[in-house]
């Protein structure tokens, strides 16, 4: 079963095997990178003779940025605030943000999972990591991995809720891109 | 006739197996010790195999046929990028190893794409030092057809693997084509996938048999395992080589993993009981792999005798 609402793949010529295999391959790679839940619809267009590889996808609603209160419990203590870390994955990001905001001399880490800040300002709302930017980075990485390796000329257009990726062996001309976009639109409307 | 077999068993008393093989006139090609286990690749005279089998039964070991033992196979991918490795290439290489072959993985520098795929002289001659090559291609028929230029100039038999079914007639330069492999992003674990690996091993086996049959028409002056034994005995420094397999066997010679400049004369001077030196019955030249020594044994038609 596909976790995506729509997953269409179109390959020119007599390449039914390649079509089936690329479906599995894209699923494997997106699953490996943990991206599959964030993609709603996916259209893949492959022209073997040209050769061109294009992917158009619609993203599911945006991911909110990660704040200090998402990674740990913030408590008011004497002389400042204490953060008890629950999610150590973003520890490095958290410390960097706190150092930038309060300065190194005001941030103390007495034990591994606790950070104490000598300040009266509540750090709860500070942004630790922009998960959406990270997701887009991972997505680009995933698309490069999916595309056949010889296709070294790539172009990636990303917006808030969609992305269009095209890769080819030959130079990417505006006409080629427009033609491919038209093909993808046809798939979308079919 | 020497038969290639693989012994797997405990480290305890495994030297009895080695001694028996030597007494029977066989050769130990490779010894791999992993903690308390040992794997031996052995060539044994086929008429003496029951003796070895009973000895191994006593030691509670296992003896299986290793059809590819004593050969070197190149597993070639278009590049070393994540698109081709690790899954398919490593599965195939590992499976060939389990059947006794010495497998080298080679990633081409610019083997990707349809129109831009190319192979250079160095890569070609490196692959030509092997006994057979397996080329791993992708999922599209058209791409596999257009990549023919990569293996057209290779002299050893080439087994091509890829995804779709393609008629053999469409690939005149390939020895055989094995389908249902292609580009996958996961390891081979299903029975059908393992079955495909078996087909690759069978194809490589047939390729090597073809080479053997061709060589039988003009046999080598002496057999490579015999030269290996003599080199091991008379150039003892080879045992101090850092390679896991200091002497790699080919069907028509061997590769001694010592620096060419310092050891070429010692290797040429290796003497046999019959009174000939290795330099007289073989060419000793630098290998394209690092600075190793490549020994190619001359056929009887050039030396005039066989021993």
> B41 with B91, same domain?
no
Q: Cβ A169–B83 below 8 Å, yes or no?
A: no
A2 falls in which pLDDT band (50, 70, 90)? low
Query: Looking at B216, B247, B264, which one is the last position of a domain?
Result: B216
As a 3-state breakdown, chain B gives helix, strand, coil percent values, each rounded to 5, of 40, 25, 35
Residues in chain A whose Cβ is within 8 Å of chain B: 11, 13-18, 21-22, 24-25, 28-29, 32, 48-49, 51, 145, 148-152, 169
> B155 with B192, same domain?
yes
> B182 with B86, same domain?
yes
Whether the CB of B140 is below 8 Å from some CB of chain A: the reply is yes
Q: Is A118 inside a domain boundary? A: yes
Measuring CA to CA, how many Å separate A187 from each of A184, B90, B98, B107, B223? 5, 37, 46, 37, 63
Q: Is A1 inside a domain boundary? A: no
Query: Looking at A110, A129, A148, which one is the last position of a domain?
Result: A129
> A17 with A70, same domain?
no
Contacts of residue B120, defined as CB under 8 A and 6 or more positions apart, other chains included, come to B109, B110
Q: How many domains is chain A built from?
A: 2
Percent of chain B at pLDDT > 90 equals 78
> A140 with A122, same domain?
no
Whether the CB of B115 is below 8 Å from some CB of chain A: the reply is yes
> B109 with B58, same domain?
no
Q: In chain A, which residues have their Cβ closer than 8 Å to the Cβ of B140? A: 11, 15, 18, 48
Q: Is A179 inside a domain boundary? A: yes
Q: In chain A, which residues have their Cβ closer than 8 Å to the Cβ of B81? A: 149
Q: How many domains is chain B built from?
A: 3
Query: Looking at A80, A97, A129, which one is the last position of a domain?
Result: A129
Tell me which of A27, A149, A171 to substitute to probe the interface with B (most B C-beta atoms closer than 10 Å).
A149
Token code pair at residue B253: 């010679």
Q: Is A176 inside a domain boundary? A: yes
> B41 with B125, same domain?
no
- The answer to whether residue A1 scores a pLDDT higher than 80 is no
Q: Which of B81, B114, B139 sits opposite A18 (nearest CB)?
A: B139
Low-confidence ranges of chain B (pLDDT < 50): none
Whether the CB of B185 is below 8 Å from some CB of chain A: the reply is yes
A168 falls in which pLDDT band (50, 70, 90)? very high
Nearest to B42 by CA among B79, B19, B69: B69
Whether the CB of B110 is below 8 Å from some CB of chain A: the reply is no
ipTM above 0.85, yes or no: no
Angle at B35 between CA B33 and CA B41, to 5 degrees: 20
Q: What CATH number should be reported for the domain holding residue A147?
A: 3.30.565
> A34 with A88, same domain?
no
> B144 with B228, same domain?
no
> A122 with A89, same domain?
yes
Q: According to the model, what pLDDT value does residue B107 have?
A: 94
Per DSSP, what are the bridge partners of residue B267?
A: none
Q: According to the model, what pLDDT value does residue B103 have?
A: 94
Token code pair at residue B74: 């190149």
A5 falls in which pLDDT band (50, 70, 90)? confident
Q: What is the domain extent for residue A49?
A: 6-62+131-189
Q: What is the domain extent for residue B22?
A: 2-65
Q: Is A92 inside a domain boundary? A: yes
């Amino acid at each position: 079963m596909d976790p995506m609402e729509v997953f269409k793949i179109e390959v020119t010529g007599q390449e039914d095997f390649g079509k089936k295999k690329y479906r599995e391959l894209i699923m494997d790679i997106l699953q490996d990178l943990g991206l599959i839940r964030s993609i709603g619809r996916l259209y893949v267009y492959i022209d073997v003779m040209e050769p061109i590889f294009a992917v158009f996808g619609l993203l599911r609603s945006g991911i909110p940025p990660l704040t200090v209160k998402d990674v740990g419990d913030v408590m008011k203590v004497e002389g400042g605030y204490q953060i008890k870390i629950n999610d150590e994955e973003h520890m490095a990001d958290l410390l960097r943000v706190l150092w930038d905001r309060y300065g190194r001399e005001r941030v103390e880490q007495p034990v591994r999972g606790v950070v104490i800040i000598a300040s009266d300002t509540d750090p709860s709302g500070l942004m630790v990591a922009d998960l959406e930017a990270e997701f887009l980075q991972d997505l680009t990485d995933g698309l490069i991995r999916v595309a056949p390796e010889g296709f070294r000329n790539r172009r990636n257009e990303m917006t808030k809720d969609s992305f269009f990726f095209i890769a080819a062996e030959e130079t990417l001309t505006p006409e080629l891109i427009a033609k491919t976009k038209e093909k993808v639109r046809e798939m979308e409307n079919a | 006739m020497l038969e290639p077999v693989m012994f797997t068993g405990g480290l305890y008393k495994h030297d009895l197996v080695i001694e028996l093989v030597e007494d029977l006139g066989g050769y130990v090609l490779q010894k791999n010790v992993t903690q308390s286990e040992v794997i031996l690749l052995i060539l044994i005279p086929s008429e003496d195999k029951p003796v070895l089998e009973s000895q191994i039964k006593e030691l509670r070991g296992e003896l299986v046929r290793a059809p590819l033992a004593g050969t070197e196979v190149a597993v070639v991918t278009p590049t070393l990028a994540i698109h081709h490795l690790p899954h398919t290439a490593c599965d195939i290489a590992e499976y060939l190893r389990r059947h006794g072959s010495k497998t080298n993985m080679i990633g081409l520098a610019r083997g990707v794409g349809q129109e831009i795929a190319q192979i250079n002289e160095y890569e070609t001659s490196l692959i030509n030092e092997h006994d057979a090559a397996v080329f791993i291609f992708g999922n599209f028929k058209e791409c596999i057809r257009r990549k023919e230029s990569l293996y057209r100039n290779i002299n050893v038999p080439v087994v091509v693997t890829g995804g779709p079914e393609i008629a053999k007639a469409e690939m005149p330069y390939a020895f055989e084509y094995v389908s249902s492999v292609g580009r996958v992003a996961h390891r081979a674990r299903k029975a059908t996938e393992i079955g495909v690996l078996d087909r690759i091993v069978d194809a490589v086996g047939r390729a090597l048999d073809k080479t053997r049959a061709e060589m039988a028409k003009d046999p080598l002056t002496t057999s490579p395992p015999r030269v290996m034994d003599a080199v091991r005995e008379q150039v003892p420094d080879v045992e101090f080589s850092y390679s896991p397999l200091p002497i790699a066997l080919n069907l028509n010679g061997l590769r001694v993993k010592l620096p060419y400049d310092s050891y070429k004369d010692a290797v040429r001077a290796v003497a046999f009981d019959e009174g000939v030196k290795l330099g007289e019955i073989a060419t000793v030249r630098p290998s394209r792999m690092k600075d190793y020594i490549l020994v190619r044994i001359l056929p009887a038609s050039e030396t005039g005798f066989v021993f």
